[in-house]
Amino acid sequence: MSGFDLTGLTASFGGERVIGPLSLSVREGDRVALVGRSGAGKSTLINLIHQQVQGHSSLVPQNLGLVNALQVFHNVYMGRLDANATWYNTLTLVRPFARDSREVKALLEELAMPEKVWIPAASLSGGQRQRVAIARALYRKADLLLADEPVSALDGPTAHLVMKLLKQRFRTSVIALHDVELALAYCTRIVGIQDGQVALDEPSDKLTPADIMPLY
């Protein structure tokens, strides 16, 4: 159920077309890397997909969308606000239940930042904030992952750790990445975007970095 078809997709910004017309079909089990120059329309495409699946996805947007005043725990917990009753969510805001905090803590452990669970998002570094947004997506447990440059602020080893985790947890994903190495290593399919059009769409095992470079 996590695949989708997009046809005749267009998007304009300020009267200028930034996307399309474009068609993209993603099947269950596809791990798509969107590559291309910045401004090519990757972020717009991710947002369009998010709308297309009516929000039924784990989204990591480029600007992360964290609530700065809330603690890391609550930012992660927000991924599943729909799963619980209002009174439960409200109580959680005042005092989280042990079950939830255990689960969130475990997630943060995997992302190598367990000690930050009760710290407000505002006082985190860029890399930590990015991992909180990823933790929220993981906690959400949707079938489809949509991520826009999810590891741009992370150092090499951490980036690999996160990408591995994302691969493990989501069977289907669309990830915008500017790092070609990571794209080839963790994705099954490379979609190159150029001027709002699909310029390349190949399984990653058929490609080398050199094939992708012309897109940049």
Partner 1 sequence: MLSSPTVRTSLIFTAIALVGLVFADIAITAANPWKDLGRFFLGVVTPDFFSTQGLATALLRTVAFAFVGVALGSVCGFLLALVYRAYPVRIFCAFVRAIHELFWALIFLQFFGFHPLTGVLAIAIPYSGIFAKVYSEILEEADPEPGRLLPPGTGVISAFLYARIPDCWVQMRTYTAYRLECGLRSSAILGFVGLPTLGFYLESAFSQGHYSDAGAMLILFYVLIATLPLWVKPKLLPVYILGAPFFLGDGMPIVWGNVARFFTEDIVPSPLKNEEGWAGMGAWFGDLFINQALPGIWNTVILTQIALVATGIIALLAFPLISTHFGRPVRRTGGHVFLVIMRSTPEYILAYILLQLWGPSMLPAVVALALHNGGIIGHLIGRQSSSIILRPDAPTGVNRYTYELVPRVYRSFLAFLFYRWEIIMRETAILGILGIYTLGFYVDSAIQNIQFDKAMVLILITASLNIGVDILGRFIRKKLALQTMPTC
Backbone angles phi, psi at 67, to 5 degrees: -95, 105
* Minimum CB distance to partner 1 smaller for 89 or for 101: 89
- Taking residues 110 to 139 in sequence order and writing x for each that binds partner 1 by CB under 8 A, - otherwise, the string is --------------------------x---
For the chain, helix, strand, coil in percent to 5 are 45, 25, 30
DSSP state of 58: E
- Interacting stretch for partner 1, rule CB under 8 A, among 26-34, 54-62, 178-186, 193-201? 54-62
Q: Nearer Cβ to partner 1, position 91 or 213? A: 91
Question: Where is 105: in which H helix or E strand?
Answer: helix 98-110
- Told to check if 65 binds partner 1 by CB under 8 A, we report yes
Using a 10 angstrom Cβ sphere, with 0-12 exposed, 13-18 middle and 19 or more buried, the burial of residue 5 is exposed
69 or 106: CB nearest partner 1:
69
Q: Please report how close the Cβ of residue 93 comes to partner 1 at its closest, in angstroms.
A: 6
Binding of partner 1 at residue 55 (CB under 8 A)?
A: yes
By CB under 8 A, the count of residues binding partner 1 is: 28
54 binds partner 1 (CB under 8 A): yes
**Distance between CA atoms of 190 and 48, rounded to whole angstroms?**
18
Residues between 66 and 95 that touch partner 1 (CB under 8 A): 66-70, 74, 78-86, 89-90, 93
Q: Taken in order 136, 37, 18, 52, is the CA torsion positive or negative?
A: negative
**Residue 56 in 3-state DSSP?**
coil
Residues at the interface with partner 1 (CB under 8 A): 54-56, 59, 61, 63, 65-70, 74, 78-86, 89-90, 93, 136, 140, 142
